[in-house]
Amino acid sequence: MSLSQQTAVELAALLAAKEISAREILESCFARIAAVDGRVGAFLGYDAEDALAQADASDARRAKGETLGPLDGIPVALKDNISLRNQPLTCASKMLKGYVSPYDATVTRKLREQGAIVWGWLNMDEFAMGASTENSGRQITHNPWDLSRAPGGSSGGSAAAVAAGLTPLALGSDTGGSIRQPASHCGVVGMKPTYGRVSRYGVAAFASSLDQVGPIGHTVEDVALALQAIAGGDPHDGTALANSVPHYREEMQRKTGPWTIGVPEEFFAAGLDPDVKAQIENAIAFYQQQGCTIKKVSLPSTAQAVAVYYIISTAEASSNLARYDGIRYGHRSEKATDAIDIYALSRAEGFGDEVKRRIILGTYVLTSGYYDAYYVRAQKVRTLIRDDFMRAFGEVDFILAPVSPTTPFKLGERATDLLSVYLGDIYTIPVNLAGLPAISVPCGTAHDMPVGFQLIGKPLDEVTLFAAAQQFEQAHDFAARRPNL
């Protein structure tokens, strides 16, 4: 196994023992990209010179005994909606072709401060709108376990890059499941933190009340290490919580259970693939064998979650994407002859079909006469969805559920069946609407493709999720599996 395919924790130990250098890790990533990414398509690009300079700086610090922490020298690649100073930021859209970020996102800055090699920009569904990475305006990303299948989305490039061994860690963003679903489909671990746990400053907005940045890695401990680095308050983001950040890696070792685990009956109804269901039930059985109490809970408002999400998220997208007008920045049409043309033609040419579809829907639900009927009502139901979770948490420590009702579909298979794509997020969307933390953990295979389950926790209780997820991980070999590329 090449260095690039090892876990972040393993690499950190090798660096600490001075058995390898940060430059060697990065060069292994470069070699792996050259060997397999032509078939996977996870990276949109990277600046080798800048990344190597970061690696050499890390090695120089280590030679002096001045390391900045366990991530010092570990490569972390970014989804292409997270700002990286002096590097392209396109959100996988023609609208931002040629745009170069003038500053670092807060998560980028925090990683740099802890010595991580922050590099590369990873493919995604355009402006994070999609669940397969097929909506990218740049290229198609393939699932490393079966190149004919989608990796999930919208953080498909991030999950595929980690699964394929192109980078040990990656950041994604999760608005309705966009970290957890591709992590499940690619057989890796992905954490969507509590809303506000991680700053969104410098992250291109899709739906501001739902978006949250989180890490993707090979193991639970890798993801805990990365979340430790990026979590915390931020004066640049009024939604970033100032609560103290736990020492996840230390505290999760002290939590051993047994726990009372909620299993929501609404998540196991019609539509869940029987083979996927069997793997989730195996995970439930494992926790029961560890002495955990399994308790059925009800989340009755789940049935409305998808409809609520596509009202609220599109309304916020309509507002957030209004800034891309061809005047201040973004693509400007060469066919425009007046100010109206600049706005209309630039947006028509720059945005892809899925983005246009969501802008149109969002503009509609915000229109006078429909605002109360749709947007206000959706916000009320959103409160009911959160209330369902909080009621359940009065009886259980966390909730265990599927991530996706199916395994990854064939690329192009659902190009005209948008409803089935939207419904594929039925188990992840409620978590975003409620602002809760959730982690996706590999638990087996179905139809020869990875399957993950998710643990959904109480607000700011990522520690318990890490502890319970690691208990499952350490009893199985899923974290050690790699696709044959």
Q: What are phi and psi of 260, to 5 degrees?
A: -95, 120
CB-based contacts of 454: which residues, under 8 Å, 6+ apart? 180, 184, 400, 401, 402, 403, 427, 428, 431, 438, 439, 440, 441
Return d(Cα 245, Cα 215) in angstroms, integer. Answer: 16
Structure tokens given for 360: 């149109």
**Token pair for 222:** 């890798």
Q: Which helix (H) or strand (E) holds 434?
A: helix 429-434
- Among the listed residues 4, 136, 155, 178, the single catalytic one is 178
**Closest by CA position to 216, among listed 185, 255, 253:** 185
- Please state whether the peptide bond connecting residue 209 to the residue before it is cis, i.e. omega within 30 degrees of 0: no
- Please return the burial class of 385, using the count of CB atoms within 10 Å of its CB with bins 0-12, 13-18 and 19+: buried
- Look up 318 and say whether it is catalytic: no
**Catalytic residue selected from 4, 21, 28, 79:** 79
**E strand or H helix at 16:** helix 8-16
Let me know: does 123 contact 92? Beta carbons within 8 Å.
yes
CA trace torsion 88, 93, 97, 103 (10° rounding): -30
Considering 58, 154, 301, 346, which one is annotated as catalytic?
A: 154
Strands 117-122 and 75-79: parallel
Active site residue 178: yes
Nearest CA among 118, 284, 292 for reference residue 215: 118
Q: State the DSSP code for 269.
A: S
Tell me how far apart the alpha carbons of residues 211 and 195 are, in angstroms, rounded to a whole number.
Answer: 8
- Burial grade of 366 (CB within 10 A; 0-12, 13-18, 19 or more): middle
- The set of catalytic residues is 79, 154, 178
